[in-house]
Structures are given as C-alpha cells and as structure tokens.
C-alpha cells in the first residue's frame, strides 16, 4: 500500500493467531472424521458373514482312504460334492471323449487338477436334482459317469453333459490339494 501498511483481508487473521486457528480447524475436522468412521464401523462390520457361514465356505476332506474306482460325497455350502478316484479306464475314456461332439465343450484336462481325481458339484444343471452314479450299484448312464433319473440327463466320466436336457456340465467347485491325501473345497 502507499502508506506502508499491509492490506488486510476481511475474516483472515495474520501471524500466530491465524496459524493456531487453522490448526484447530484441521484438527477438529480430522477428529470428527475419525469419530464418524468409529461410529459407522460397527454397522459395516455386522454385514460380514458370521462364523457359521465362514465355516461352511470351505471344507477340508481326507481322500486317503478312497480307493481307485471308489467315490465319496462331501457337503460344501449345503450342496453335494462328488469326489471320484478315477480308474485308468475312466481317465482314458474321458480323454478320448474330448474329441466328441459336446454340448458344453471342455477338455478333461481343464476339468481336473490331477487326472485320477475328479471333483464336481453333484447338482444336475437342468433342474437341480442330484444325479446317481456315486454308488457302484447306481445307474451311470450310457457314458459311465452320472445319470439324473428326473429327466434323463447323462454325464460322462469327466462330468460333461452328453445326453438329456441339462444345458451344462456338472460344475467344478474351487478346490486345492493340500497334500496327496487331503483337499480343501472352497
């Protein structure tokens, strides 16, 4: 300015008083944000799955006692899971069927992590029935896998749909081998 005095802006305080006010405003805002997050957090946390739901989200199964040619049924998320220790003949047949005219094309190699173990969700993809074929006395249909008696869907030894109204192959659950004798589904 011409008279040597600094111009002042209305509502703005210079010097130590101004920096203190700025600090208090930022600190108050930050404390309010932390308080709001602390108040909202319990509501967000209650939306997480409960312990019983988490327990159902994965299951570990010991497959060491399942002999070649045998099958067991486990339960994962309330659904049956078919675990079959396939014979060399079943593996050979499944690999040979890779070249067949498949409704839902998928090679046997893509459906298994280890050729001798086939792990499937045991729910027919037509109307949600549970196909037969886990027990040695069960009918397995023309392709040697599973047979759904409700509407006649037939699956091969890789769980692929071969005949009947089912539109898709038997689903593959997410799984991993923890060891040679133990798997975790989910």
Residues with a catalytic annotation lie at 151
Residue 81 in contact with residue 134, Cβ under 8 Å?
no
Nearest CA to 95 out of 54, 147, 156, 164 is that of: 156
Tokens 């327990």 sit at which residue? 55
Report the SS3 class of residue 119.
Answer: strand
Distances (CA, A) of 172 to 8, 20, 28, 71: 73, 63, 54, 16
Bridge partners of 117, per DSSP, are 85, 114
The pair phi, psi for residue 80, each rounded to 5°, is -75, 140
In the chain, alpha helices (H): 16-45, 51-57, 88-96, 108-111
């Amino acid at each position: 300015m011409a008279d040597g005095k600094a111009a002042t802006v209305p509502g703005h305080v210079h010097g130590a008083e101004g920096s203190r006010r700025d600090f208090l405003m930022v600190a108050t805002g930050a404390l309010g944000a932390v308080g709001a997050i602390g108040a909202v957090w319990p509501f967000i946390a209650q939306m997480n799955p409960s312990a019983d739901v988490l327990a159902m989200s994965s299951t570990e199964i010991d497959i060491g006692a399942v002999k070649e040619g045998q099958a067991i049924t486990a339960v994962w998320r309330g659904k049956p899971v078919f675990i079959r220790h396939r014979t060399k003949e079943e593996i050979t047949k499944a690999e040979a069927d890779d070249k067949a005219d498949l409704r839902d094309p998928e090679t046997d190699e893509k459906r298994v992590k280890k050729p001798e173990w086939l792990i499937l969700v045991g729910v027919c993809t037509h109307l949600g029935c549970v196909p037969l074929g886990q027990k040695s006395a069960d009918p397995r249909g023309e392709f040697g896998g599973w047979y759904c008696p409700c509407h006649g869907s037939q699956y091969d030894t890789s769980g692929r749909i071969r005949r009947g109204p089912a539109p898709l192959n038997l689903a593959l659950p997410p799984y991993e081998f923890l060891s040679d004798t133990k798997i975790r589904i989910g």
